[in-house]
Amino acid sequence: MRKLIIGVLILSSLFTTPNYKALASEQHNETPDRVYSIIVDRFSNGDSQNDMHISNDEDDHLPYGGDYVGIIDKLDYIKDMGFNAIQLSNVFDHEDTDYLGYKEVDYGTLEPMFGTEDEFKQLIKAAHDREMKVIIDIPMTANDQYSGQSIEMDGLVADYYGDTEFIDFTKEQNKKQYQSMLNEFVEQYNVDGLSMYTHQSVDANEILPSNVTTYAFETVGKSTNFDHVQQPHKTKTLQQSFKTINQPIESYSNDKHEILAADTWFTERFTHFAASENMFPPQRIKQLSDYMMMHNGPVFFNYGTEIALNGEELPTIHRLMNFRTDAEIIDHITHFMTTLKDHQVVYRSDKQLIKKGEGYLLTSIKTDDVPFVYYINNTDKTLDQRITSVSQDKMLRGLLIGDNVYPKEEEHELILNREESELYATIDVQPMNWGYLIAAFIIFIGFGIFVFILTKRTKKNQGNH
């Protein structure tokens, strides 16, 4: 019976002719930053000639040899998933045994183990040719160039830095010199943005260039005057909401300055939280990414999340990337982000809560073109939600799964399976296409007659033998 019902639903969707022109909108490339975050050393080793200090015998504490050429080779892989920007870990010269790269040796000088200056420029050009932004994460550790101060830390940040000192940004000389160095770097290499893990309170206007987009990942200090900010409590909320089912989901904030990230370079991997709940990580990651990618602001997606890289502590949270993996999550993300790219107007307007409960969220998006409804079901059962906010002369056209919802008794009934999400476009009610329906019925009957005759002849031939 279930298969029959599914078949009928599929047929009914085929025999309606929704006005897809009503779903189209002017393409102004309104998609916010969808950033694929890369630790350069851990991503891809494309050129072994720059492995001059690599002596790694599968020891995660030491560098593996990832480089700019390796990233260039994988840009299409990243672009095809739907990301429009990459974030690179620190590219300045750092200690040879520091795979993460934040124990700084020489600010302003590129790290030779990652490749040549020309290869760095080629990477930026290759990204720009694909209409992708390049964001460079910059350190704030003290060295001979900058006077330092000790900062009290805990967790994975403390595990990595130990007793390393940080630039004392209370001193004017440090601020001016640092800002001047980054101005030269941005002008020379034409990068689009700078990000920073703020291990102390900093004001972007005082230490960063004014001609690039700035992103702050808060760990200890308060970030002021950054264009976009990620806050640890928001990341923890995402982890708690999607590590398992039937958890509260936070309504969208509509804050375009807010960064969503389910994990960072100094937190446990999201997969760790899902695995600790004995949940299937790929399904958890799909639900998580569906929620995040609807956010009106930047989303940062840690490398390897699409293959469910796991890790709880250093250095396992920064494992070497593996490209020979199952494409289940990748295909899902690609489909979701491709759909959103075709309907970028969903980012233009605020999202308004319709209804939410333990594990589900129903949101309205009223644009100038076509109103939308977004429904995410992160529970352990199929949910049936009835809404009255959509006009009775409108139907809901599913863009992800393809479900059509017609008005019924002044309501629209949305039925969504467990651990799924759907984006509905509100369009005029479309009549059944009876011509196609009759034609399909004739074909179905004709095929049945054909099978009946074929079976009868086969039995007759077997009887003659």
pLDDT tens digits for 101-145? 999 999 999 999 999 999 999 999 999 999 999 999 999 999 999
Nearest to 123 by CA among 107, 139, 135: 135
**Cβ distance 184 to 108 under 8 Å?**
yes
The H or E element that residue 133 is part of is strand 133-137
**Cβ distance 196 to 209 under 8 Å?**
no
- What does the block give as tokens for 368? 């100038």
Sheet architecture: strand order including 407-408: 383-387, 411-416, 407-408
Q: For position 460, what pLDDT does the model report?
A: 63
Report residue 444's pLDDT band, with 50, 70 and 90 as the boundaries. Answer: confident
Q: Average pLDDT for residues 219-234, to the nearest whole number?
A: 94
pLDDT at residue 188 tops 90: yes
Distance CA(429)–CA(411), nearest Å, equals 13
- What does the block give as tokens for 16? 């309606």
pLDDT at residue 172 tops 70: yes
- What does the block give as tokens for 25? 């909108």
Percent of the chain with pLDDT over 90: 78
Q: Residues 443, 449, 451, 453: is their CA dihedral positive or negative?
A: negative
Report residue 19's pLDDT band, with 50, 70 and 90 as the boundaries. Answer: very low
CA dihedral 23, 25, 30, 33 (to 10 degrees): 30
- What does the block give as tokens for 345? 């107007």
pLDDT in tens, 7-16: 444 444 444 4
pLDDT at residue 396 tops 60: yes
pLDDT at residue 1 tops 70: no
Report residue 20's pLDDT band, with 50, 70 and 90 as the boundaries. Answer: very low
Which of the two residues, 323 and 419, has the higher pLDDT score? 419
pLDDT at residue 418 tops 80: yes
Asked whether this chain's domains 34-342 and 349-428 adopt the same fold, the reply is no
Q: For position 163, what pLDDT does the model report?
A: 95
DSSP code, position 308: T
Q: Average pLDDT for residues 337-359, to the nearest whole number?
A: 94
The residue length of the chain stands at 465
Helix (H, G, I), strand (E, B) or coil at 222: coil
* DSSP codes, 270-317: HHHHHHHTT--HHHHHHHHHHHHHT-SS-EEEETTGGGT---SSTTGG
The H or E element that residue 117 is part of is helix 117-129
pLDDT in tens, 319-332: 999 987 778 999 99
Peptide bond before residue 281 is cis, with ω within 30 degrees of 0: no
pLDDT at residue 97 tops 80: yes
How, if at all, do strands 193-198 and 213-218 pair? parallel
Distance CA(4)–CA(15), nearest Å, equals 16
Distance CA(292)–CA(23), nearest Å, equals 22
Q: For position 2, what pLDDT does the model report?
A: 42
Q: Average pLDDT for residues 401-426, to the nearest whole number?
A: 95
Q: Average pLDDT for residues 300-325, to the nearest whole number?
A: 94
Q: For position 56, what pLDDT does the model report?
A: 66
**Cβ distance 181 to 250 under 8 Å?**
no
Neighbours of 106 (CB within 10 A): 13
**Cβ distance 404 to 432 under 8 Å?**
no
pLDDT at residue 55 tops 80: no
Neighbours of 217 (CB within 10 A): 27
Percent of the chain with pLDDT over 70: 89
pLDDT in tens, 251-301: 999 999 999 999 999 999 999 999 999 999 999 999 999 999 999 999 999
Report residue 22's pLDDT band, with 50, 70 and 90 as the boundaries. Answer: very low
Q: For position 461, what pLDDT does the model report?
A: 65
| Matching CATH number, 34-342, of 3.40.50.920, 3.20.20.80, 3.30.70.270, 1.10.1740.10 | 3.20.20.80
The backbone region for 359, taken as left when phi is positive above 0, alpha when psi lies in -120 to 50, beta otherwise, is left
pLDDT in tens, 358-374: 999 999 999 888 899 99
User: What does CATH list as the number for 349-428?
Assistant: 2.60.40.1180
Q: For position 4, what pLDDT does the model report?
A: 44
Q: For position 434, what pLDDT does the model report?
A: 58
- What average pLDDT is seen over the chain? 90
Report residue 25's pLDDT band, with 50, 70 and 90 as the boundaries. Answer: very low
Q: For position 241, what pLDDT does the model report?
A: 98
**Cβ distance 205 to 214 under 8 Å?**
no
Distance CA(68)–CA(41), nearest Å, equals 9
How, if at all, do strands 394-398 and 404-405 pair? antiparallel
Helix (H, G, I), strand (E, B) or coil at 385: strand
So where are the chain's domains?
34-342, 349-428, 438-465
Q: For position 432, what pLDDT does the model report?
A: 58
Q: Average pLDDT for residues 65-77, to the nearest whole number?
A: 97
Q: Enumerate residues 6+ apart whose C-beta is below 8 A from 367.
A: 25, 345, 346, 348, 349
